Structure 1
Amino acid sequence: MAGWEQTRRRHRLVHDVAGDFARNGPRALAAWRPAIETEFGGLDDLLRDVQRRLHTAAEARLDALIEAPPADLDTSVAAVLDEVAEIYPDLRRLLDAHASHPAVAEGTVRFHRSVRTATGVDLTRTRSDRSRYEEKGPVRDRKPVFFARLRPVCGWLH
């Protein structure tokens, strides 16, 4: 059960830190630093975990596109990334603020490579999901393309 308890603690910590960061900005991280270091060993591993969570959510949704490819795959892949950012806005903001951090940059390169391999879509040639999200903000007046499939990953851990 030790592994399960660690998973629950990390899940809660990631969402608590990201929520505080979204509300209070970078200064919020200072208050969380002891908990982050205790649970993750440092900010690097926390950011990797946040990124893994977002990428896992996106990859799960991208699988549906691979199984039944739409006519415009580029737009559909972008829509999936936008929807994941809308589901997890606090996690997205935390990663966006640390986009140049080496741990995040490495993960982004790997994710782009895996999306290109799986779908043929080159995310480096398209506008980033981050810039579209910042430009439009959370979209509440339109129904997401994959609304029926949108569920927070491991939401039952809360």
Structure 2
Amino acid sequence: MAIKEPSITASPNRGLALTAGSVLAIWGFLGFFLAADGDPGFFNRHGGMLWNAFGVNPATALVWVLLAAALLLVGLGNTIGSRNVNLLVGVVLVVFAAYGFVFVNTSANVFALNTTDNVFHAIVGVILLLTALGADKQNIRALRAEAARA
């Protein structure tokens, strides 16, 4: 009996990948327009503000769009790919948050990060990591067993 790929609603990893990818895509695209409100330059320390809370420059907006593209592609794909990309993007966002917390008020803050950005990156990164590590275990086990039989 062939195992069917779980739907988006039946797979927490696929659903979260699409949700987080959509949010990051919207914020990334808006960020390109609002980044012009700050100092000129791709890696400027004082970018524009997104919703008067999130610091954004073109580099930050690009990171968000790239992460969104990866999440959206795998969210529409399969569960195993979604789990792996959720894990990768989660690690990237947690590292991005740590970078922001350490360098927020220094000249090394080339992503125009502020505390709100750092908290957002940490929360989304941890949620992605926990979902990747804890959800869909039964689905992934069944899909891998089916692939091994084929």
Query: What TM bracket, shorter-length normalisation?
Result: 0.3 to 0.5
Considering fraction of residues, name the structure with more helix: 1
Q: Which has the larger radius of gyration?
A: 2
